[in-house]
Structure 1
Amino acid sequence: MKRIALILILMLAVSIIIVGCTDSEKEERTNTTVSQGLEENIKDKNDANIGEDKDELYVRIKAKGSKRFFNGGVAFIPKLEGSSTKEVKYRWTIDYSEEQEDFIDGLVGEEGPVTEIINNGEEVSFGVYAEVSYVPGAYSERKVKLQVLDSESGEVLAEDSVKIKNYEGYYIVENTRDEKLAERILKTSNAKIYGEMIDMVWDIDSALNSGVSYINVDTRTFDGFNEEDKKQLFEYLAEQYDAEILDKTMEELKDEGYIEDLSFKDGIVFGIDKYIKNSEDKISLEGRKWASGMGAIGFIFEAEKVENEWKIKKCDMTWIS
C-alpha cells in the first residue's frame, strides 16, 4: 500500500509540473505572438507613413494627332504616373524672350498667343498665328515645358519638355531625352547602353525621324541581346518617343506593307551592320538609321564600362544618303 501511495503521489507531482510547464509555455508563446503582431503592425504603419510622405511623380508630354504640320498646330496632354498625397496643378510655358516683337506661333490662350498656361491637367495647344515669308534655310526652335506643381507650396514635383522645330514653316515636334524615364525603365546593362545609343543617334540628322509613328529596332542584328533587354528597351522607346515599336527585318517590313517604294512612311529603322568589338566592358559597332533609299545615315558608336557604368566614347555619323 505504501508503494502504491508513493507512486500515486509521484504521478500527481509530475502532472502538476507538466501542466505548469504547458501553461507557462502557452503563455510565453501567446506573449511572443502578440509581441510579433504588434511589431509587424507598427512596421506596416511606419512603412505606410513613409509611403505617404514620399512623392514619386513622373510626367510625360504627349502630342495628340500628327507631330508634323505647316499651318495649324498641335495639342498636348500630360500623362502623370506615380503617387502623391498632394493636390497638383499643371504649368505650361514656352521659351519666348521679351525682345521678340511679334508672336508668329505659341501656346493658345483664350484671346491669342500666351507664354504660360496654368490648369488642372486639361490639354493645351500650340498654334501658328501669322503667315511668314521664310528665307531659304530658315530654322528656329521652341521649347514647351510642363511642370507639375504642389498647389499649396508651388514646389515642382515633376517636369518634362518637348522641342518644336520650325524648318521654313514646317513644324516638327520632338521629345527631349528624359533621364528619369531612362533610369526608371532601363535596368539591364544592355538596355541602358542601347537605349542611350538610340537617343544619341536620334539627334543626328533628326529630320529623318522627326514625328515618326513607328520605330523599328531589328534586334536580330544585336549581339547578346535577350528578351528582358528587349522588353525594357522597347518600353522605354515607346514612352520616350510616343511611337509604336516594331522588331522586324527589312524584308518583313516590305512584305507587311510598312515599306513601299523604298520608303518607310511615318517610320524609322535602327540596325547594327557590324560589331568591331563586343565584350562585357567594351562595345564598338557600326549601325544605320534608315527612313528611305534617299534618307539614311550610318554611324559609329563606341562605349566602355568604367566602374560598372557605361561611358560613351564616340557617336558620329559615317555616311549619309
Structure 2
Amino acid sequence: MFVCGRCGTELTAPVTRVALPVRAHQSYGHAMLPALMEPGTYAVDPEPRGGPWRLWDEVGEEAAAALGVFAPVHSLPSGPPGAVAVAPGDTRATVFIPGRCDGYCMGLDGRDGPNLACEGCGRAVATRMDDCSIWQAVWLDPTAVRRIQGPAPRAADWTTLLAGERGTPPVEQPGHWSPQWEAAAGAALAHLLAASAGEPVALPAGLLTDMFGRALTPLLPPGRPTRTLSLAGPGRPDPDGAEIAAVPVHPRTGEPWRPPGAPATVPLPVDVWLGLAFPEDRSLLPVTGGLPRDVRRDDPLPSHPNWVFRPDRQVFLRTLARLPEVHRPWLREVYDRLRDEAELF
C-alpha cells in the first residue's frame, strides 16, 4: 500500500502492481469514462508528469531523447517521474484541497496541480482526475508518498493468466467502438509502422484488417506486400513465414509474448488480443412462443458499429514519438507529415 511520506497515514488499500495501460494518456469523446485501473491494482508512469510544461524548442532534441521522446512534440512536462495511478475507490484518508478542484466540464482535470491532501497532516499527496474524456484515476505524487512493501505476488504463466482473463468486446452498446480497442490500435499501429520498414504489409482478413487496414494503407507505399502480419500468442498456431506478429502483453510485467522464429512484434493489451484471438461466442438460448421447438437464435443480438474503426490519433502519435525507429528518415517524414494533419485516418 501507499502511505503519506510525512506522517505515514495509509492512503490506499492494498494494491498489486500491473503494467501501465496504453490508454493512460488517452482523451476520448465527450462523456464520462470508467476507472483507468482495475480495483486492487496500481501502475507507475515512468515519464515526468505535471507542470510546468516546456515547449519542444526550450527542451531541445538531446534532452528530450534522454526522456525517451525522439521526435518533436508540442511540449513536455517537467514534473517528477514515477506518478502512481490507482482506482479512485482504492484511495483512503484523503480530502479535497479547496481552490484546486477545477475542471473543463463534468469533473476534475488536475489543471491546478495536486487536489487531494492527506487527512492526517494536510500535505498535498495526489491528483484526482475524473472529467469527461479522461479515464478516471487518482495519481499519487511520487515525491509525497512512499510504498509499504507487501508480499510479492506470484507471477502467473501465460496458461494460468489467460484462463482467468476475459477479452474486451470490440463494440460497445449502442454501436460504439470500444475506446480500449481504439487506444490499443493507436499504440499498435505505431509499432506496426516501425516494423514494416516502410514496405507494404499484408494483413489477415478479419478484425486485424478492420483495425489497421484503413489507416496503414496510405502510410506505406503502394504495391505488392513484401511483409505479412500474423496474430500470434499462447494457444495460437506458430506464425510460420510471418515477418511481423501481433502478440499479447503480460498485464503484470508489461512484457510482450515472444513468438518462435523471432519475428518483429506488435504488442497488444491482453484483453484486446484475446478479443482477436479467441472471440467469445454469443450465448444461444431456445426461443419460445411462436417459433418451432428446435429453432435457436442469438441472444443478445450481435453489436454492429455505426462508423468505421479509427485507431486513436493521440495515442498513435504519442507512441510513435517514443519509438527510437522514428529517427529513420522515412518514418520521421511520416511522423512530421501526420503531426500537422487534423485527420490521420
Q: Which has the higher contact order (CA 8 A, sep 6+)?
A: 2
What TM-score, normalized to structure 1? 0.25
Which has more radius of gyration? 1
What TM-score, normalized to structure 2? 0.24
Q: Which has the higher strand share?
A: 1
